[in-house]
């Protein structure tokens, strides 16, 4: 049996974007995922309602999700077992203490002061056990790398980013018999 997961992050509807682009919903409807994972920075709760009209949707809290009280109940990290794989979902900011430290580093050195390795050391600590796949957002940049037994995947962002060129996109995980294939799609 196989399963298609759609992965979306950093929609920022309500702070950087006015609404979820129609192209996101069109792409999701055409791909027919069995489930949608949102890796945080949702901001407007209606985004999750829109996504849930396409497929069951699960989400985690991002660093700007404090802007709407309904998002406060979302966890910082979640884990699932799907198709024999342990999958972790997080935004990647690690909570307020770690986020404030990250902002300090950013303000002192700019975006280049926060290379992807900065996050890769943080992500495994957000889960109680080792994951086969860790899905994260926060960086607004697509990313895929296998380190040890764990595949780290960032779908990129739908919402605009600060400090670099932005290409709105979402990701997909094709799961089959313990194997993962990833892809990105511009929206």
The mean pLDDT value for 83-95 works out to 95
Domain boundaries, the chain: 2-186
Phi, psi for 29 (deg, rounded to 5): -60, -40
**pTM for this model (two decimals):** 0.93
Read off the pLDDT of residues 168-177 as tens digits, 9 standing for 90 and up. 999 999 999 9
For residue 77, count CB atoms less than 10 angstroms from its CB and return exposed for 0-12, middle for 13-18, buried for 19 or more: buried
Q: Which CATH number fits domain 2-186: 3.60.21.10, 3.40.50.620, 2.40.30.170, 3.40.640.10?
A: 3.60.21.10
pLDDT band at 163 (very low <50, low <70, confident <90, very high): low
- 145/105 Cα distance (integer angstroms): 24
The larger pLDDT score, comparing residue 67 to residue 12, is at 12
- 146/144 Cα distance (integer angstroms): 7
Give the per-residue pLDDT at 172. 98
Phi, psi for 2 (deg, rounded to 5): -125, 160
């Amino acid at each position: 049996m196989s399963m298609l997961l759609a992965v979306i992050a950093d929609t920022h509807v309500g702070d950087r974007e006015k609404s979820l682009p129609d192209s996101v919903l069109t792409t999701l409807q055409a791909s027919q995922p069995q489930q949608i994972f949102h890796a945080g920075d949702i901001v407007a709760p209606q985004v999750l309602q829109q996504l849930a009209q396409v497929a069951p949707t699960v989400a985690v809290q991002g660093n700007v999700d404090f802007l709407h009280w309904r998002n406060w109940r979302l966890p910082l990290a979640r884990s699932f077992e799907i198709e024999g794989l342990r999958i972790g979902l997080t935004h990647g900011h690690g909570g307020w203490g770690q986020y404030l430290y990250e902002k300090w580093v950013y303000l002192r050195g700019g975006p280049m002061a926060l290379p992807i390795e900065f996050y890769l050391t943080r992500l495994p600590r957000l889960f109680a056990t080792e994951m086969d796949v860790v899905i994260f957002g926060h960086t607004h940049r697509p990313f895929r790398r296998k380190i040890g037994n764990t595949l780290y995947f960032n779908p990129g962002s739908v919402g605009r980013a600060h400090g670099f060129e932005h290409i709105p996109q979402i990701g997909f995980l094709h799961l089959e018999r313990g194997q993962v294939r990833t892809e990105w799609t511009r929206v």
